[in-house]
Amino acid sequence: MLSVLRNRTYRHLFTAQVIALIGTGLATVALGLLAYDLAGARAGSVLGTALAIKMVAYVGVAPVIGAFAHRIPRRALMVGSDLTRAAVALTLPFVDQVWQVYVLIFALQAASAAFTPTFQAVIPDVLPKERDYTQALSLSRLAYDLESLFSPALAAALLTFMSYNRLFLGTVGGFLASAVLVVSAVLPKAAPAPERSGGAYARATAGSRLFFRIPRLRALLCLNLAVAAASAFVTVNTVVYVRDHLGRSVGDVAFALGAYGAGSMLVALLLPRVLDRVAERTVMLSGALLLPAVFTAVGLITAASGGTWRWPALLGTWAAFGAACSMALTPTGRLIRRSAPPEERAPAFAAQFSLSHAAWLITYPLAGWVGAQAGLLYAVIALGSVGLVATVSAVFLWPARDFADAPHVHTGLETGHPHLDGAVEVPGGWRHSHVPSCDELHLAGASATR
């Protein structure tokens, strides 16, 4: 898997991603302590509101950025986002009002909503071979999982000899280093964006309309919701399970979250070889179908009144949650790359970024509110039901014969060929996005000539 790092451009971009992630992790810890200083016992509500603002920024800003990204050089857009995030992080230690936290968090996450989809859209151009790109997706998944384990540990070590305000300086350094690495990378030229009618709204919704038009991407929307149900449940309720339900120590909360990350990392390491032999549909739907079974196991643990077996069982189910989520989401980039032509990848990745976080915007409050008001068992039932419905919907929406229904170019065909119905002549061939698929047309032609 690490062989993909021999590509200098990708190596610089990946390193920039990792450093920025660590900086963000340090900011998360420092933000929690800042919220406690400003709000005391109300710190939880402050953080909950900040998290909601983060999701709103992701959902609302990413499509707008994706619509106009083709007008800004990709390097300039990513560097500008990093510098904006660094400037915001630099001001956080000086705030003394809760509303200021909210404003700065929105600005910080809006910049992230510009950076991340642009970064994701660049990688397929940097690594055009599918095997290399698959390895890059797994490395990205590993980076996110390792950050969730490493950043809290690093923050704890730093807090032994400095105040939490200094952690924000680590965030600033991370974003500045990311900007330098992006500047040092030689990015391939982006494909020219197609002309669109309908104004700003049409451009902003182009990526979302692609998702609703192509069956496999409609299924991906459901997979996003299923994964969000499981991940939100783990994120919000782990501390309640470990501390209140099982009566274990604060340190065991980290062990439980580490089990989730370990399951995700194990799958990320294995997926490049698996995807050489198994279709994305099989892998992603298998991961989603595992989620209802894991929710059932968690329900049994929750309903049990006692027993030492519950702690290792919890660790096992949390690892299974991580593995299932990684199976369902890691190949997402391959799916989008196959479904969108190069000139439409930026809005497509922006739509995935926005729509996937819209799922989190639903499941985060659901996990927290149901767990607090009705109890953990009802939270299991509610989130498990969401995951089950979303998974079943994905199975039905994603055809078993996943035809190549994305826009593409045909070469070597004469004018008038039935394969070119609805196509537009472009340099080098004919381009169109069609239904029925090419495979169906080829089969129909074969039948007609028998």
Q: What is the pTM of this model?
A: 0.73
Mean pLDDT of all residues in 206-229: 86
For residue 94, how many other CB atoms are within 10 A of its CB?
A: 9
Mean pLDDT of all residues in 395-418: 59
How far apart (Å, rounded) are the C-alpha atoms in residues 209 and 194?
Answer: 15
Tell me what percent of the residues of the chain surpass a pLDDT of 70. 79
Task: Write the pLDDT tens digit of every residue in 329-381.
Answer: 888 888 888 887 776 777 777 778 778 888 888 888 888 788 778 888 998 99
Question: pLDDT at position 192, please?
Answer: 57
pLDDT higher than threshold 60 for residue 413: no
Q: How confident is the model at residue 399 (pLDDT cuts 50, 70, 90)?
A: confident
Among 197-211, 232-246, 436-450, the range of highest mean pLDDT? 232-246
Q: Are 111 and 55 in contact (CB under 8 A)?
A: no
Mean pLDDT of all residues in 317-333: 91
* Of 404 and 287, the one with more pLDDT: 287
Tell me what percent of the residues of the chain surpass a pLDDT of 90. 19
- Per-chain mean pLDDT for the chain: 78
Question: pLDDT at position 67, please?
Answer: 62
Q: How confident is the model at residue 430 (pLDDT cuts 50, 70, 90)?
A: very low
Among 173-177, 196-200, 239-243, 366-370, the range of highest mean pLDDT? 173-177
pLDDT higher than threshold 50 for residue 438: no
**Structural domains of the chain, with CATH:** 1-128+152-186 (1.20.1250), 205-402 (1.20.1250.20), 408-448 (no CATH)
The letter for the amino acid at 395 is V
Task: Write the pLDDT tens digit of every residue in 47-98.
Answer: 667 777 888 887 777 777 766 666 778 888 889 999 999 999 899 888 888 8
The order of strands in the sheet holding 408-410 is: 408-410, 429-432, 424-426
